Chain A
Amino acid sequence: MDNVYLVSVVKFVMYVAIVLISVILIGWLERRISAFMQNRTGPNRVGPFGLLQILIDVVKLLLKEDIVPKSANKRIHDLAPIISIAVALSTFAVVPFGNTIEMFGSEVKLMIADVNVGILYMLSITSLGVYGLTLAGWASNNKYSLLGGLRSSAQMISYELSMGLSIIGVLMVSGTLRLDQIVLHQTSYLGGWLPAWNIFLQPVAFITFAVAAFAETNRLPFDLPEAEPELVAGYHTEYTGLKFGLFMLAEYSNVITASAVIVTLFLGGWHLPYAEYLGLSPFGLSILQILTFCVKVALVILFFIVVRWTIPRFRYDQLMNLGWKVMLPVAIANVLVTGLVLLVI
């Protein structure tokens, strides 16, 4: 019994360390790649290839004064970044990053919390994330912050729907709400050679889910809550120092989580096609699968970054049009078609 708790604690500590380190890496990667796309070099002075730049930035943020506006609601102003970061970090808990592994004489599931309604947990927690932004916008007592907060809540409501509906297609195919079962369902092969990843079974759901994920993480084509040219910095206009850093951390953790969820639901999770025929020991195979998961997540994160520097920001009415008039009907049609096909088969 004690062993179970110990394993959970170890997994949790490892997970937090890994996420925080990868946030630093992603921050560096984003700045480097955006620089490369604009024919610049980007941060390259601190450490090898500028890898320690973000670490230095964190130290800088630590040393900055924590300014709270006079007319702000101080308690909520403090609370908002905490909500943001807590929500961003806790979503990852249900994502399986490897198959069940035999270790120290016991079976260890490579996910932090084995929840039997994993997807519902994930959906509900990500929708809590909007409270961080909205409260930050409201508590700052600044018109730009307030507009940013309002936009983020409106955007979240519009895209949560199509996100949920696109997941329904996946649920109908795999027949379970457990994320590890959904991944296991994707490890078979279609027609003997094509991996049965949900991206091949549910391409439309994949596109709608990916677009909604961009909107949920407030990444560039949909970053209206912090649209710089219109709203100064949106919801975090009045934040300085480490509280601002927490919002940044939350944004990048959200990107990691969104990528991990996309990989789990649509890209086969930790499944490396044909790896089971390599003849590796079970432990070696598990390590390979964890690496596969990491590489897949990294590639999706790269996609997030590339999209940020490719597609310009949507106008507010275009955002709403896309959410309600395009994404929602497409997601519903996908559910209907999937249901019909499943009935016929």
Chain B
Amino acid sequence: MGSNGKIIRKKDLNIWQKAYLTEIFKGLRLTISQIFKPKFTYLYPEVRFKPQPSFRGRPVLVHENGTERCVACGLCSRVCPALAIEVQASETELEKERYPIKFEINMVRCIFCGFCEEVCPEEAIIMSNEYELVFTSQEEAIFGKERLLKSTEEMKDRLEFLRAHR
């Protein structure tokens, strides 16, 4: 294919193109010029990829001034295709009346589909931009409330994205 999208047949080549050499030098010029172009690779441990708000990283629970938004309705646990979420409800004196006494996500099972975020009526469980998840044991991979809770300020970008695009 030529630069204008037309197919070039062998009989259409001129004498220089048939003689290989000039075309080879054109190719060499292209590859050599690529050497000095900027690199796409991140030098990972030093430079880290910062995902956009639309990125679906690990799910987190949102809290406002220390109280989680979650009302322990159990919809996320119900919709989770990998059965990764476990919620146990309990009563509270606050206006919302219910809160999760136990909220666990098994990060080995989680497939980052984002169904929990979609189904949540309180915008309490949302996907964050964290993607570095390394565990050395099965127990360590089960995230409890203390590791899941993030403040609304921390999750501002994602919350704004959800409000604009959902």
User: Do B24 and A39 touch across chains, with their CB atoms under 8 A apart?
Assistant: no
Which stretch of A157-165, A193-201, A231-239, A302-310 is in the interface?
A302-310
Contacts of A37 in B (CB 8 A): 31, 34-35
Q: Which residue, of B21, B28, B35, B39, has the highest number of chain A Cβ atoms within 10 A? A: B35
**In the bound complex, how far is the Cα of B38 from the Cα of A39, in angstroms?**
7
Contacts of A127 in B (CB 8 A): none
Q: Chain A's interface: helix, strand, loop or mixed, by majority?
A: loop
* 8 Å CB interface, B67-114 against A: none
State the Cβ distance, A325 to closest chain B Cβ, in Å: 13
Contact with B along A20-47 (1 / 0, CB 8 A): 0000000000000100111111001000
* List of 5 A-B pairs having minimum Cβ-Cβ separation, nearest first: A36-B35, A310-B27, A310-B31, A41-B41, A37-B34
**In the bound complex, how far is the Cα of B32 from the Cα of A100, in angstroms?**
37
Interface residues, chain A, CB within 8 Å of chain B? Answer: 33, 36-41, 44, 207, 306-307, 309-311
Contacts of A39 in B (CB 8 A): 34, 37-41
Question: Closest A-chain residue to B36, C-beta based?
Answer: A36
Point out the residue from A41, A306, A309 that lies within 8 Å of B39, measured CB to CB: A41
**In the bound complex, how far is the Cα of B24 from the Cα of A306, in angstroms?**
11
Contacts of A309 in B (CB 8 A): 31
**In the bound complex, how far is the Cα of B31 from the Cα of A306, in angstroms?**
7
Contacts of B38 in A (CB 8 A): 39
User: Do A36 and B28 touch across chains, with their CB atoms under 8 A apart?
Assistant: no
Contacts of A207 in B (CB 8 A): 21
Q: Chain B's interface: helix, strand, loop or mixed, by majority?
A: helix
**In the bound complex, how far is the Cα of B26 from the Cα of A310, in angstroms?**
10
Contacts of B34 in A (CB 8 A): 36-39
User: Do A33 and B27 touch across chains, with their CB atoms under 8 A apart?
Assistant: no
**In the bound complex, how far is the Cα of B27 from the Cα of A309, in angstroms?**
10
The reply to whether the CB of B1 lies closer than 8 angstroms to some CB of chain A is no
Contact with A along B10-37 (1 / 0, CB 8 A): 0000000000010010011011101101
The reply to whether the CB of B43 lies closer than 8 angstroms to some CB of chain A is yes
User: Do B41 and A306 touch across chains, with their CB atoms under 8 A apart?
Assistant: no
User: Do B31 and A41 touch across chains, with their CB atoms under 8 A apart?
Assistant: no
Contacts of A38 in B (CB 8 A): 34
| Known interface pairs A306-B32, A309-B31, A310-B31; A40-B24 also in contact (CB < 8 Å) | no
**In the bound complex, how far is the Cα of B130 from the Cα of A335, in angstroms?**
69
Point out the residue from B24, B27, B43 that lies within 8 Å of A41, measured CB to CB: B43
State the Cβ distance, A18 to closest chain B Cβ, in Å: 26
Question: Closest A-chain residue to B19, C-beta based?
Answer: A326
User: Do A307 and B28 touch across chains, with their CB atoms under 8 A apart?
Assistant: yes
Known pairs A37-B35, A39-B41 / 20 extra A-B pairs, C-beta < 8 Å: A33-B35, A36-B39, A37-B31, A37-B34, A39-B34, A39-B37, A39-B38, A39-B39, A40-B39, A41-B39, A41-B41, A41-B43, A207-B21, A306-B32, A307-B24, A309-B31, A310-B24, A310-B28, A310-B31, A311-B24
Point out the residue from A33, A40, A307, A310 that lies within 8 Å of B41, measured CB to CB: A40
State the Cβ distance, B30 to closest chain A Cβ, in Å: 8
| Known interface pairs A207-B21, A310-B24, A311-B24; A40-B31 also in contact (CB < 8 Å) | no
**In the bound complex, how far is the Cα of B38 from the Cα of A40, in angstroms?**
9
Contacts of B40 in A (CB 8 A): 39-40
Contacts of B24 in A (CB 8 A): 307, 310-311
State the Cβ distance, A306 to closest chain B Cβ, in Å: 6
Contacts of B43 in A (CB 8 A): 41, 44
What are 27 pairs between A and B in contact, CB < 8 Å?
Answer: A33-B35, A36-B34, A36-B35, A37-B34, A37-B35, A39-B34, A39-B37, A39-B38, A39-B39, A39-B40, A39-B41, A40-B39, A40-B40, A40-B41, A41-B39, A41-B41, A44-B43, A207-B21, A306-B28, A306-B31, A307-B28, A309-B31, A310-B27, A310-B28, A310-B31, A311-B24, A311-B27
Question: Closest A-chain residue to B31, C-beta based?
Answer: A310
**In the bound complex, how far is the Cα of B35 from the Cα of A44, in angstroms?**
16
Question: Closest A-chain residue to B45, C-beta based?
Answer: A45
**In the bound complex, how far is the Cα of B34 from the Cα of A39, in angstroms?**
7
**In the bound complex, how far is the Cα of B35 from the Cα of A37, in angstroms?**
5
**In the bound complex, how far is the Cα of B20 from the Cα of A207, in angstroms?**
12
* 8 Å CB interface, B34-56 against A: 34-35, 37-41, 43
Contacts of B32 in A (CB 8 A): 306
**In the bound complex, how far is the Cα of B46 from the Cα of A44, in angstroms?**
13
